[in-house]
Amino acid sequence: MSSPTNAAVLSEFEPTERGTPVGLPPYETRVPEPMNNYNLPSSPRLIAEKVQRLGEQFPTFANKSADDLEDLLRFEDLFQAHIDGLEQVQLMRTLEYELREENERLAEVNLSSEDELRKMRDSVAELQMFASSLTSRLYELVQEHLDLQKPYSPMLLLQRLRDEVKALDEQAETSARAFMAGDAPIESGECEDFVRTYKQLRLRYHSSEARCRLADAAYRSGSLSGVPLSLDR
């Protein structure tokens, strides 16, 4: 086409009144600005590759003549109609429409669940407060348990056993000194009672002292559990 394209020639696009011709500079300089300094490759092979790529990726442009491309640049409505007819643009708009519809559907679902979610949030807040109170009570019980355990810790029980062993030893020695320091004549019955009492004290002392040594060795080795610490055994 050597003359400017009119509405009759472009009837298939049905240009509106807005499609008035746009003034363009002379043909030599009407290439878009970013391509003013574009130089075609000198190699015919590279040119063929670019033409092939243009035909594969943009077949609607590759099949148009220079006049058709000039008309696309001259008429805005014609250019927009051609762009709207591209498969890539139609696919993009289809995806955009589907995405918008899906977003609206999700928004409706979220709005319909607002009351339920608010109730669930309030319920979760109540449960969190209840759990917090239970946690505080648990800490109190743990502290009470630790306080109750302190008098019965292995170290304290072992120390009590040592003190009791020492007390038994002193009791036996005190009883013997008191018996030996008596000025009155010792009768046979009194002697037998002293020997019996002293013997029981020494037996308890040696039994407790043996348990104390075993408990001390077990405590040092970390295996104190199972060792009797009570003097009543």
> Per the domain annotation, does 145 fall within a domain?
no
pLDDT digit string (tens) for 3-13? 444 444 434 44
In the chain, the percentage of residues whose pLDDT exceeds 90 is 17
User: Which pLDDT value is given to residue 215?
Assistant: 80
> Per the domain annotation, does 91 fall within a domain?
yes
> Per the domain annotation, does 51 fall within a domain?
yes
DSSP the chain: --SPP-TTTTGGG---TT-PPPP---GGG-S-GGGTT----S-HHHHHHHHHHHHHH-HHHHTS-HHHHHHHHH-HHHHHHHHHT-HHHHHHHHHHHHHHHHHHHHHHHHHHTHHHHHHHHHHHHHHHHHHHHHHHHHHHHHHHHHHHHGGG-HHHHHHHHHHHHHHHHHHHHHHHHHHHT--SPPPHHHHHHHHHHHHHHHHHHHHHHHHHHHHHHHHHHT--TT----TT-
> Per the domain annotation, does 116 fall within a domain?
no
Q: For the domain that residue 176 is a member of, what is the CATH number?
A: 1.10.287
**Site of tokens 């007819």:** 85
User: Do 18 and 85 belong together in one domain?
Assistant: yes
- Indicate the number of domains in the chain: 2
> Per the domain annotation, does 34 fall within a domain?
yes
Question: Where does a domain end: 105, 120, 135?
Answer: 105
> Per the domain annotation, does 140 fall within a domain?
no
Domain range for 73 is 11-105
- Which tokens go with 183? 């000025």
User: Do 85 and 20 belong together in one domain?
Assistant: yes
User: Which pLDDT value is given to residue 224?
Assistant: 60
User: Do 96 and 24 belong together in one domain?
Assistant: yes
Distance CA 75, CA 22 (A): 6
User: Do 88 and 15 belong together in one domain?
Assistant: yes
User: Do 87 and 173 belong together in one domain?
Assistant: no
> Per the domain annotation, does 95 fall within a domain?
yes
pLDDT digit string (tens) for 100-136? 999 999 998 888 888 888 999 999 999 999 999 999 9
Q: How confident is the model at residue 39 (pLDDT cuts 50, 70, 90)?
A: low
> Per the domain annotation, does 127 fall within a domain?
no
